[in-house]
Amino acid sequence: MSPIYNKPTHRSLKGPKDPRGIGSKLTLRIQSLLNQAVDLHQRGALKEAQGLYDSVLAADPKNFEALHLSGLIAYQCQNTLKGVQLMREALKINSQSIACLVNLGLAEHAIGDLATAIQRYHRALSIKKDLPQAHYNLANIHKEQNNWNEAKLGYEIAITLKPDYWEALLNLANISESTREWTLALQCLNRVIKIIPNLSKAYNNRGNIFKKLERWRESIQDYDTSIQLDHTYPDVYVNKGNLLKELGYWDHASACYKHCLELNHFHPKGVWNQSLLSLMQGQFKQGWLGYEARWDRENAEALNLRLSGSLGINEQKKWRGNEIIKGQRLLLYAEQGFGDSIQFIRFVPNLINMGAVVILMVQKPLLELFNQIDGVYLILEMGQEVPEHDLSCPLMSLPLALKLHEEENFNKYPYLKADPFKVSRWEARLSHIKSLRVGIAWRGSTSHANDKFRSLHFEQFKKCIPIDAQCVSLQKEVSKEEGAIVELDKRVEDYTVELNDFSDTAGLCANLDLIICVDTSVAHLASALGKPVWIMLAYSPDWRWMINRADSPWYDKVVLYRQDAFGEWDGVLNEIKSDWSEKIKAR
């Protein structure tokens, strides 16, 4: 967001007329100083320019231009509060200055006074409606507030007024990426590159769009071009590493993250993505430590994390293993999805054995299931008033806090149990199924970032079901169209309308001989209950399933069926159908 400079004018500099002509000479001297100062200012010589502005203000303390531009320098030098103060004083002298209105809006935006900044831009536009920078700056505020439609409109107006406004095109591309308008984003970035062909960030951003469009080769080429133009730009190494990781080039991905972290040891996305790769490769000590970078703002937004502050949890009380917890009220809270909570709840007995008074705060559908855990002092739903506690820890930080660096420490044996009453009820409901009872789930939550690659349509999934199989659907998220297809398949019985929470699903799973599913919360639930589970995995799986193995360090009776090539499910489906048929025959 570049500032606006006004060349000082004689009209704005005139003071009271001196009959001896002294005032005229002083005015000319001030004019000369201001011209020199603005020239230095525009060339980036801020210290020298400020010296001249100070000379002007010594002679004329109410000089509008010197106050305004001194305020602008203060803002540019990160002394934003002083900048706001000076520019507000200047605006009292000349309330019609478009440049001061826009520059003050920038500074007020920087200190978080968005409402006032918006007023400044609207005032500037009331004076000159075809001012592209005011439209652009307004759009930036809307973008920051996730008001995508208003931001998009502002950028489009700015670009209409100034077709080569590459900053507005770049941000419009970002908005279009957020709203999944890949074609528009690509068009904007192509224009940016045509206007300013050596802008590293434009190639990086276009590489991201090519990645979304699954045009992998072009994506890699753009990332490489971005690096050639600016090898000190850390974000591009992370983005290239993420694509290489998704395509299964683990070592190359690791090298990219290493480059990023050489440039910035604490780069949040670099640290976090390297941690995912470390965990995937079984380097748990390094992985758990780096995984804490998920709490950085951008990472947290990407994961949709439940931040402790938004829950009313005192960040000063956070526990990561340093304090003694014996006799302490330790609040553990969910942070991500249902499956994450189920996977990491296994460590609660460790804490109880260490003498902690454990309080759980988890998602509502998990309350009744987790009520079966012995020794928990109190269990609450997310969003309820936070109880008094001495220490707190998110569930997925427990391995770090407990210093669990070897997979032998992961308590892989059954650690959850179903409600006996619900088990009995489902046993009666399923008594007519005399053959192998198999639960199936083919789709994860559509809100998951990687759902496109981990989930299947039922039409595709049913290829693995043997003709003589009998299945029970555990799939909750089903469209009307897909539900009709499931209903027509006589091998599948669907009781999901009766599954109101995970306790109900646990009672049903307890009566099944086998669960076959994709990477979803059902996989974690059934595995934690100790049921045999076959999990179908994408070529580049979630970190917890690791690589190059058919078993899991997290669950005793899990078998992992992995894609042999990116996006290729046929091999997995054929292998499962064969193994499933053998199991039916052996029964």
Assess if residue 355 is contained within a domain: yes
pTM for this model (two decimals) = 0.87
Chosen domain end from 409, 429, 449: 409
Same domain membership, residue 515 and residue 540 = yes
Average pLDDT over residues 558-582: 96
Same domain membership, residue 425 and residue 454 = yes
Angle, helix 22-42 to helix 46-59, in steps of 10 degrees:
160
Q: pLDDT band for position 13 (50/70/90)?
A: very low
Average pLDDT over residues 503-521: 97
Angle, helix 216-229 to helix 200-212, in steps of 10 degrees:
170
Average pLDDT over residues 196-200: 97
Dump pLDDT digits (tens) for 93-148: 999 999 999 999 999 999 999 999 999 999 999 999 999 999 999 999 999 998 99
Does residue 23 carry a pLDDT above 60? Answer: no
Assess if residue 535 is contained within a domain: yes
Contact 84, 108 (CB under 8 A): yes
Report the sign of the C-alpha dihedral through residues 502, 506, 509, 515, in that order: positive
Same domain membership, residue 292 and residue 254 = yes
Average pLDDT over residues 374-400: 95
Same domain membership, residue 548 and residue 405 = no
Contact 441, 517 (CB under 8 A): yes
Assess if residue 225 is contained within a domain: no
Check residue 217 and report its DSSP letter: H
Same domain membership, residue 316 and residue 299 = no
Same domain membership, residue 428 and residue 573 = yes
pLDDT at position 18 = 36
Does residue 59 carry a pLDDT above 50? Answer: yes
Does residue 21 carry a pLDDT above 60? Answer: no
Dump pLDDT digits (tens) for 67-96: 999 999 999 999 999 999 999 999 999 999
pLDDT at position 1 = 59
* Residue that wins the pLDDT comparison between 29 and 493: 493
Which SS3 state, helix, strand or coil, does residue 514 take?
Answer: strand
CATH number for the domain spanning 323: value is 3.40.50
Assess if residue 130 is contained within a domain: no
Phi, psi of 297 (to 5 degrees): -55, -50
Average pLDDT over residues 383-395: 94
Assess if residue 30 is contained within a domain: no
Same domain membership, residue 449 and residue 474 = yes
Assess if residue 247 is contained within a domain: yes
Whole-angstrom distance, CA of residue 230 vs CA of residue 235: 11
Does residue 22 carry a pLDDT above 60? Answer: no
Average pLDDT over residues 495-511: 96
Does residue 20 carry a pLDDT above 50? Answer: no
Average pLDDT over residues 212-224: 97
Chosen domain end from 409, 441, 462: 409
How long is the chain? Answer: 587
Angle, helix 22-42 to helix 64-76, in steps of 10 degrees:
20
Same domain membership, residue 439 and residue 494 = yes
CATH number for the domain spanning 299: value is 1.25.40.10
Assess if residue 337 is contained within a domain: yes
pLDDT at position 12 = 40
Provide the mean pLDDT of the chain: 92
Q: Which domain holds residue 350?
A: 310-409
Amino acid at position 406, single letter:
E
Whole-angstrom distance, CA of residue 289 vs CA of residue 282: 13
Does residue 289 carry a pLDDT above 70? Answer: yes
Whole-angstrom distance, CA of residue 111 vs CA of residue 71: 14
Domain count across the chain:
3
Does residue 448 carry a pLDDT above 80? Answer: no
Assess if residue 322 is contained within a domain: yes
Same domain membership, residue 371 and residue 495 = no
Q: pLDDT band for position 305 (50/70/90)?
A: confident
pLDDT at position 271 = 96
pLDDT at position 24 = 61
Same domain membership, residue 527 and residue 380 = no
Chosen domain end from 251, 268, 303: 303
Does residue 17 carry a pLDDT above 60? Answer: no
Does residue 172 carry a pLDDT above 70? Answer: yes
Same domain membership, residue 510 and residue 561 = yes
Q: By C-alpha distance, which of 44, 38, 50 is closest to 12?
A: 38
Same domain membership, residue 317 and residue 281 = no
pLDDT at position 586 = 87
DSSP of 248-265: T-HHHHHHHHHHHHHH-T
